[in-house]
Structures are given as structure tokens and as C-alpha cells.
């Protein structure tokens, strides 16, 4: 049965401390306020592969980095995936809420729906069937269903209108956190 899962910015639910380094900060500037975390994969025993429309995609391997931003008052978390210093995918979890600590570390509550921007710039919303199933099974309320749909729409608008600025800020935050590793 589906459930709203609590996840962590450092992805401790997936990777342990021997597999990755993690740094985070609380960021507040003219563009963004919330938690920012950088995962650098260092000790994976094998690449992390996922299915994509173009076949298998490696999303994590030694040397890869994930820059994650969790807005204080937003209902999403953006994970920007880096290979050889370049972004190859943005993966956006739509969230019920984000709990941000003073140091920038964050917990978030995944609402099933996701938005993905692939390396070629194509944007798609995925896992709509899981969202519907969660609603039909009583896991989420009608209000939470609508919140997820609205948040996904807001993310699509953000990506459509401000993708270049968003990527500039992501690269800036990655640089700041990389320098502190």
C-alpha cells in the first residue's frame, strides 16, 4: 500500500555515510529561501540505474553530485543531478510540506507526483497514477490531491519562465557547498 513517505535532504533512507558526503546550508537571497544540500557520491559499489523514456539512465555513481533545494514555503524539492560537473537531470518531488532546520538540513513529505526535466530539456510529469491511487485508497485527502496538482503546475510554470535563472542559482549553490567540502 502506498504511503506519504518522509524523506531527508541527505537521502539517508537510500544511501549511508560511507557511500556519500553531504553538506547543507540555509540559504536566503532575492531568489530563494530554504534548505540547500549537496550530496557527493564517493563509495557506491555500483551505479544507480533507473528506467527513463530513453532506456536505462545512471543517476548516481562515484563522482556524481546531487544539489537539492527545499523551499521554506514551497511544496516541492528539486534535485539537480550532476555528472562531470554538468547538470544532466532535474527531478522534482512534489511535497506535502518541507521542514527546514536552521542549518539548512530538511525533511520533506513526498506526495507521489514528480516532475522531471531530462538532459535534452524535455519536461514531464510522472507518477500521476500513484497520486490517484493514493487518493482512491484514502492515503491522501482531496485537499492533498489538489495541493499536489497545483504544486506540479507551479513547478512547470517556474521551469518554463525561470529555468535559466534557476540553473544559475543551482550552480552557484553547488559552488558554495563544494568549496566547503
Domain that holds residue 76: 5-179
Mean pLDDT (whole number) for 58-76: 96
Quick check: 110 pLDDT over 70?
yes
What is the average pLDDT value for the chain, to the nearest integer? 93
Per residue in 140-177, pLDDT tens?
999 999 999 999 999 999 999 999 999 999 999 999 99
CATH number at residue 24: 2.40.380
Quick check: 10 pLDDT over 90?
no
Q: For the chain, how many structural domains are there in total?
A: 1
Question: What pLDDT is attached to residue 158?
Answer: 92
Quick check: 181 pLDDT over 70?
no
pTM: 0.94
Q: How far apart are CA 146 and CA 88, in angstroms?
A: 30
Amino acid at each position: 500500500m502506498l504511503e506519504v513517505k518522509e524523506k531527508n535532504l541527505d537521502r539517508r533512507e537510500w544511501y549511508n555515510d560511507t557511500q556519500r558526503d553531504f553538506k547543507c546550508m540555509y540559504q536566503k537571497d532575492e531568489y530563494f529561501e530554504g534548505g540547500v544540500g549537496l550530496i557527493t557520491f564517493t563509495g557506491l559499489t555500483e551505479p544507480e540505474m533507473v528506467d527513463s523514456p530513453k532506456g536505462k539512465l545512471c543517476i548516481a555513481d562515484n563522482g556524481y553530485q546531487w544539489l537539492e533545494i527545499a523551499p521554506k514555503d514551497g511544496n516541492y524539492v528539486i534535485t539537480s543531478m550532476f555528472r562531470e560537473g554538468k547538470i544532466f537531470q532535474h527531478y522534482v518531488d512534489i511535497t506535502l510540506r518541507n521542514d527546514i532546520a536552521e542549518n539548512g538540513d530538511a525533511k520533506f513529505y513526498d506526495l507521489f507526483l514528480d516532475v522531471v526535466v531530462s538532459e535534452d530539456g524535455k519536461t514531464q510529469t510522472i507518477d500521476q497514477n500513484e497520486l490517484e491511487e493514493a487518493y482512491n485508497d484514502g492515503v491522501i485527502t482531496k485537499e492533498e490531491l489538489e495541493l499536489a496538482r497545483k504544486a506540479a503546475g507551479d513547478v512547470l510554470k517556474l521551469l518554463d519562465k525561470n529555468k535559466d535563472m534557476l540553473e544559475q542559482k543551482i550552480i552557484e549553490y553547488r559552488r558554495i557547498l563544494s568549496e566547503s567540502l
